[in-house]
Structure 1
């Protein structure tokens, strides 16, 4: 159906390159630092950042309270002691196994960490919370107004856009999405096609009722078409010129016949008819003058 044709059009190489170029250009112009600052502003509104901190600390506390983590910490402690103080470790082993000491130290460290986390979670005015809020607010202001930081963020953004791995990932992602969409749209009972038809019908009804919405959509579509046309103009012109230039005389005649064949036949017929009439007229005129 029409949805499948539209999807295939988007997957045409020239169209895909144009869309990718347009998206890349918009991303390059995007002020990532300012956007990050605005997002942090939303995060800090109504102390949302403190709730995020609480969630993170709660997860860390749960992680520290697991036996597997304590066992891992004990192994690391024992390994470090044996590496840094091998003689001391051998001596201590005579009194008490070093592994038991590692278990004890790991357990005490875990309990100390849990106690500190519980203190932070239970005290709204805890120094760590204050430091966290101060750092976050300062960083948010720097994102909005520090040219040096904005330049570093923009450089990271540009590197991400231009990185081959990112481009390969995006292209691979598009291929997978395209394949799944095409498989769904090719089915007679396509859920996506039904959803599109239903919602496009609602959109059409809304546009028909709302003149302001129609005007806004027209303006956005014209602006987008103008930008896309500007990008495509040079490429399409060069492609057409190169294609026609590569045709030989026979190929050119074939293409003209396919495009305007009926008109050419009409022109030929009219030319023959008009030429014959003119010839007869000249013959009659010549005979009359002789007479």
Structure 2
């Protein structure tokens, strides 16, 4: 298995290059010492000598990029540490103008199916369940952030705002017209009359006692009873007349309803009265208390749904997510439009903020000291540079050998 650690690979290749250079030096010394006895070693010496020159030259060049060779402050060495800040600026500008552009990002994201991948991922039960639980799990935190009085005031204000531009009188006239057309107003009247009749019958002892309490003390009880009976009979007679479809009371009721509908449709006074009544109702303490109770019930249900592991809200949210995922995966046109929107949004968001992105890169590089940036760059490209040392040693040796052969030919 190849070594994936850049530093270890660099050290290994550096040792190979150094050992090769040292080997060439050893071969050169040995060849020169034994050349008098073995003349053919002149070719070996020439190869080794040129290889040393090439290897030393490449070692100097590679080392000069990252540090001073042998620690000597030779001019134009330690190039990367001395130009750290300029390198950071150049890298940032290079990223900004060559990578983070509309053209590059569009080409890179053109074939990415964001919607399809998301739909397939969301279509799996475990994923949609996890998303649903996460969504529902945020409900308690959101609900707890809301003050009960603020929530109640919000609902009251929302109701008032939604009805602000609604003409209440014509709406009520339309409702009454529908009721009259379906004779629902007659059924309502009969229901009300039945309730009144039943209330009178159930409260006869109470009414009798009230008649007796308000009679003069000298009035005989028998007269009180006769007055009570006549009163009850009179009321019952009126109720009977009102229930008669052909009676005078029914005609009056029908006429009153029709006149009320006409007034609601055309009279601005009724509109003003209804609006005043609505405003008073919205500010009434009983209505505020009712709205507070409604919010308390909603709050309790949301908290219960958000904290229960078997919440029906989680199941419904999961079903909704899976339905959405299936519909998205089966509709290529919608998926294409969504991909275009996501692609455009991502490109615009990245390009508009590319100055911030490259600024982060530049700030990070600026925070590194010269030695740190030199080490990081050497770890990334140092191995290839060490191969240059190796190839320089071998190429130098071959060139030296050729030159030695040419010198023998023209001698």
Give the TM-score normalised by structure 1.
0.58
| 1:267 corresponds to 2:362 | yes
Q: Does 1:114 align with 2:239?
A: no
Alignment partner of 2:245: what SS? coil
Provide the C-alpha distance between the structure 2 equivalents of 1:144 and 1:275, rounded to a whole number of angstroms. 85
Report 1 or 2 for greater relative contact order, CA contacts < 8 Å, sequence distance ≥ 6: 2
- For each residue in 1:214-243, what CA deviation from the matched residue of structure 2 results, as whole angstroms up to 9, or x when unmatched? 9xxxxxxxxxxxxxxxxxxxxxxxxxxxxx
Pair 1:71 & 2:205 matched: yes
TM-aligned CA distance change 1:13 to 1:183, over 3 Å: closer
Give the secondary structure class of the aligned counterpart of 1:189.
coil
Shift of 1:206: 11
Cα deviation for residue 151 of structure 1 reads 1.2
Q: Report the Cα offset of residue 150 of structure 1.
A: 0.5
What per-residue deviation string (whole Å, max 9, x for no partner) do you get for residues 119-178 of structure 1? 432x31111111111111111221222112111211222233344653454234312321
Q: Secondary structure at the match of 2:308?
A: coil
The aligned counterpart of 1:182 is: 303
Measured in 1, the distance between the counterparts of 2:190 and 2:274 equals 28
Alignment of 1:236-251 (within 5 A): none
Report the Cα distance in structure 1 between the residues aligned to 2:309 and 2:258, rounded to whole angstroms: 54
Partner residue, 1:105 = 227
Superposed CA RMSD: 4.0
Written as runs of structure 1 = structure 2, the 5 A alignment for 1:127-142 is: 127-142=248-263
Change in 2 beyond 3 A, CA 1:136/1:145: same
SS at the partner of 2:183? Answer: helix
**2:198: which partner in 1?**
62
Alignment of 1:102-251 (within 5 A): 102-121=224-243, 123-163=244-284, 166-195=287-316, 197-198=318-319, 200=320, 204=324
CA distance in 2, matches of 1:43, 1:61: 23
CA-to-partner distance for each residue in 1:81-138, whole Å, 9 max, x for gaps?
A: 12xxx4x42xx3xxxxx1x5434433443344334423432x3111111111111111
Task: Answer with 268-277 or 161-170: which moved more.
Answer: 268-277
Residue in structure 2 matching 1:80, options 203, 206, 214: 214
Correspondence 1:9 to 2:142: yes
Separation (CA, whole Å) in 2 of partners of 1:207 and 1:145: 50
Q: Report SS of the residue matched to 1:65.
A: helix
CA distance in 2 between partners of 1:57 and 1:19 (Å): 36
Cα deviation digits, residues 169-193 of structure 1 (max 9, x gap):
4234312321233124422222444
Distance 1:192 1:156 in 2: 38
Cα deviation, 1:36-94, whole Å, max 9, x if unaligned, reads 2222122211211111111111222222223xx21112111111212xxx4x42xx3xx
Distance 1:265 1:204 in 2: 38
Could you list the runs of 5+ residues in structure 2 that have no partner in the other structure? 1-132, 335-355, 374-411
Residues 185, 63 of structure 1: CA spacing in aligned structure 2 closer, same or farther, 3 A cutoff? same
The number of aligned residues is: 212
2:169 to 33, 36, 50: 33
- The 1-side partners of 2:305 and 2:368 are apart by 58
